[in-house]
Amino acid sequence: MAEHSSSVGFYILIFAILLVLTATTVGAAFINLGPLNPILALGIATVKALLVVLFFMHVKGASEKMTKVVILAGLFWLLLLLGLTLADYGTRLWS
Amino acid sequence: MSTTAIAVAEHENYLNKEYGIKSWLLTTDHKRIALLYLMSITFFFFIGGFFALLIRLELLTPAGDLVQADTYNKLFTMHGMVMVFFFLIPVVPATLGNFLVPMMIGAKDLAFPRINLLSWYLYMIGGVLIMHCMLTGGVDTGWTFYTPYSTAFTNTKIIEAGLAAFVAGFSSIFTGLNFIVTVHRMRAPGMTWSRLPLFIWSQYATSIIMILGTPVIAITIVLVAAERLFHLGIFDPKLGGDPLLFQHLFWFYSHPAVYIMILPSMGIISEIIPCFSRKRIFGYKFVALSSIGIAVLGFLVWAHHMFVAGMSVYAALVFSFLSFLVAIPSAIKIFNWTATMYKGSISYQTPMLYAFGFLGLFTIGGLTGLFLASLGIDVHVTDTYFVVAHFHYIMVGGVLMGYLGGMHFWWPKISGRMYPEGWGRLAALIVFIGFNLTFFPQFILGYLGMPRRYWDYSHMPEFQILNVLSTAGSTILGVGYLLPMVYFLWSMRYGKLAPDNPWNAAGLEWKTSSPPTTYNFDETPVVDFEAYDYEHIPDREVPGES
């Protein structure tokens, strides 16, 4: 793991960014952006999840291939959940 | 009783190393934790069974005369919740899995012994919550918590029951995590992946499902709570939500959960059949990889629970096709077990009787699953007793047969005592007869159109005879389940002392003493043999056989 990422200050910085992003999500919910509202909220949520996975869960800098396999498997499973669920929502109006 | 046997019994082992409640409640020994789980899971089995008997008793007559309709709804809900979350899901991994996984791979313990103990405490916290929920009113939604009924209409204890399942779910995640890390990191020298016992492969596949599926049900429960408490529009159409989204999320976990239940039992059958056929397993790699195949394919089939719920017919076609695929790895197992027995030297000890029961009942359950995967037939029998019979053939006929077979097979190792073989065989026979008498009539009832979850069927009194048969069967089944508990307890004091390897079975767990010492092996074993190398293991003198 890179040296800078193990210091307490670094983790506090990541935590602060997460708090700011949470505040942004809440703030954005009060502005009417039309269809952009959910896109913005999901975008911010994805960035937050990435920060947690990369730094708090130490995936960035992990040397083990197994760690990456586990992360990829998790993402693949999420894709299955979303993809097959959307197979229903995306084709419901066809008939 | 031989002197060797006495010497074996008197050695220091995990049971007699320490005494007192504290030594059990604070233990980090995987074998003791397995026994803690065994006691608590057995308790919940009998609670769930009690509800089942009340349900069957109500259905003895067409009129709804034993309990009120609301009470009946609560009975089948609590039966389902207790049996699914507090019995079937943890039963094999948390008891036999906990006991055997380290031993079978030549390790001293699981990778995270304290997390293992934590998982039991979480299970117990979940258990206390569900008991409290039961005693203070219960839930009436069915164990499936379908929305919007669960979020907008019912005034029963949804949040508490959801919390119980949520907490118990974490216990299951911890067990899965522990098994995966243990299998990767703690195998003895020489214990390669292709030498792993098939029970380990099945536990590994189960752990994958536990880790990848359980978080989804956990977050779904949180969403139900959020909608119920804060009226956030997620599932309720009135609030802008979509009720089918709940079913997608719920079944994304709850269908694979069936494989969490059945895969470990399949692992047990893979151990029992070669041992009592005195033959190497037929097609080791196929049986091993079919467990992984079931785990992966099991995640692609969930919407077959929703064919009549209003989902897209195009998606239904895809899910119907995918549901057929999962039959392939299951059939691989059945055919390979049968091929293992072919020309084997078969003996009919109690574990093998349960394995035979498993083969027949699981096959019936699996084949009727194919009926239900077909869109046309599914529309006809959805929400009828046909579905109830189908999943009980898998979840009771399959899972419990495997579990009881495994308990008899490894009981000498767990307790250091032999169970009474004659009683064992009798109980296996009673379970088999009781099970079929209970559930086979339900296939016919369902096919004829009796809906599930009805408390009163007085408008269709012609169904009474089949219901009477089913209720009669359930009492026989109840006796069949009580018997092993009685003679296992009896054997702990009065049973014959068990030798280290009473079945002359392959596998590292039989190379330790019965019962094992705290760290399982005096020296780390070195593995230079294949799994199930029965051609090179001398035949045994079977206790009770000679």
CB contact under 8 Å between A94 and B245, yes or no, is: no
- b/e burial code for range B42-52 (CB count within 10 A of at least 16 → b): bebbebbbebb
Spatial distance between the Cα atoms of B14 and B29, rounded to a whole number of angstroms: 8
Q: Is residue B81 part of a domain?
A: yes
pLDDT per residue, tens digit, chain B (546 aa), is 444 444 444 689 999 999 999 999 999 999 999 999 999 999 999 999 999 999 999 999 999 999 999 999 999 999 999 999 999 999 999 999 999 999 999 999 999 999 999 999 999 999 999 999 999 999 999 999 999 999 989 999 999 999 999 999 999 999 999 999 999 999 999 999 999 999 999 999 999 999 999 999 999 999 999 999 999 999 999 999 999 999 999 999 999 999 999 999 999 999 999 999 999 999 999 999 999 999 999 999 999 999 999 999 999 999 999 999 999 999 999 999 999 999 999 999 999 999 999 999 999 999 999 999 999 999 999 999 999 999 999 999 999 999 999 999 999 999 999 999 999 999 999 999 999 999 999 999 999 999 999 999 999 999 999 999 999 999 999 999 999 999 999 999 999 999 999 999 999 999 999 999 999 999 999 999 889 999 888 765 554 444
**In CATH, what number is assigned to the domain containing residue B201?**
1.20.210.10
Q: Rounded to a whole number, what is the distance in Å from the CA of A73 to chain B's nearest CA?
A: 9
- B315 to A84: CB separation less than 8 angstroms, yes or no: yes
Question: Which of A84, A93, A94 to probe the B interface (max B CBs under 10 A)?
Answer: A84
Q: CA–CA separation, B34 vs B95, rounded Å?
A: 4
Selected residue of B180, B210, B212, B247 to mutate for chain A interface (largest A Cβ count, 10 A)? B212
Residue B497 sits at φ, ψ, to 5 deg, of -65, 135
Tell whether B11 is covered by a domain: no
SS3 letters for B444-480? HHHHHCCECCCCCCCCCHHHHHHHHHHHHHHHHHHHH
B284 Cα to chain A: minimum distance (Å): 25
CB nearest A94 (choices: B216, B314, B319)? B314
**What is the C-alpha separation between A68 and B146, in angstroms, rounded?**
36
> In which residue are the tokens 């990369």 written?
A54
SS3 of B105, please? coil
Cross-chain Cβ contact B245/A85 below 8 Å? yes
Question: How far apart (Å, rounded) are the C-alpha atoms in residues A67 and B474?
Answer: 48
A6 touches chain B (CB under 8 A): no
Is B281 part of any domain?
Answer: yes
Separation CA A90–CA A85 (nearest Å): 9
Cα–Cα nearest to B376, from B444, B430, B439, B308 = B308
Residues in CB range of B31: below 8 A, 6 or more apart: B14, B98, B99, B414, B515, B516, B518
B7 located within any domain: no
Task: Give me the residue label for tokens 């049986």.
Answer: B287
B411: in domain: yes
Domain count, chain B: 1
The tokens 């959805």 sit on which residue? B382
| CA angle (B265 as vertex; B261, B266 as ends), nearest 5 | 110
CA distance B526 to chain A (A): 25
Can you tell me the distance from the alpha carbon of B398 to that of B265, in angstroms, rounded to the nearest whole number? 7
Q: What SS3 state is found at B514?
A: coil
Q: In the Cβ-directed half-sphere of B258, how many Cα atoms lie within 13 Å?
A: 27
Q: What is the span of the domain harbouring residue B342? A: 27-536
